[in-house]
Copies of this chain bind each other. A is one copy, B any other.
């Protein structure tokens, strides 16, 4: 059987897979019919799927910190601190009861969920964010060697550790990591560059460049770890960093914290091939396609789905953000 290669649009659809209310209003309404909105004042901060709603409504299991009206869930608590404490109590109970597999990947990393005007609404354990369909933030960096007259552009591509909990063995962006409470995107990428790729902070500060962000609404596959179908809208700040060839003194990313098995130097055609072959972690495909569009590798003339791909990589989410 011939291998089935994925188009770039198919790659984007794997990561931006929750129906869009603007372009697919009927599919969106249908999907939302059995989802509840997690609301703070008049703002929706996340979507809750039926299996999570059911757990929340079980007061013995989840506690009495939740208020339910048709289609709407509210986390009780008058201040950020109280709301943070309340959701923390619920999550501790779920974890002890092994109620959701996804919590077996407990990280002890706190993520901030925002109210309007960038004010924190509450803070919660990272691994639980997809249970509430709230926005998770991260920073991703593409480290590359520009094309020359005789050599194509090359990208540094890590292979995730075979033993990693999520997407083991898949290809990744050069540096990538989630952004915990109190962090900012720039410090996040510098820290991750050290931890994941042994790149010196001083070097990264001098050479990395902020280039925007990608946003999408991911519905988790089983490779993400935990239950399939959990909701994970994300905003990933993107950075580019130009480096020289190793033979010319350019830095060589090296595994450091055990999250990565090896760093490969691939030219653009190899990266495209591995993308089409489904070898990259889904949201890393999104970052790479954005990189290809910003660098004139994918264009309106060579990519029939150019407009839709780029639009979906910059999806507007209805939730308040940082």
Contact = CB atoms under 8 A, between A and B. Distances in A.
B322 A307 contact: yes
Nearest 3 Cβ contacts at the A-B interface? A314-B314, A209-B296, A210-B299
A300 B185 contact: yes
A150 to B, nearest CB: 17
Contacts of A311: 215, 314, 316
A315 interface: yes
Interface in A285-315: 293-296, 299-301, 304, 307-308, 310-311, 314-315
Interface residues of A, number: 35
A233 B213 CA distance: 23
A293 B293 CA distance: 14
B22 A212 contact: no
B237 A300 contact: yes
A247 interface: no
This chain's copy number in the assembly: 2
B213 A316 contact: no
Given A209-B296, A212-B310, A311-B314, 6 more contacts: A20-B316, A23-B316, A118-B304, A184-B300, A185-B301, A215-B311
A184 B310 contact: no
A211 interface: yes
Nearest to A305: B118
Contacts of A308: 321
A66 interface: no
Interface in A79-129: 118
Contacts of A310: 212-213, 314
A295 B215 contact: no
A60 interface: no
A296 B211 CA distance: 5
A318 interface: yes
Contacts of A22: 21-22, 316-318
A16 to B, nearest CB: 11
A40 interface: no
Contacts of A21: 21-22
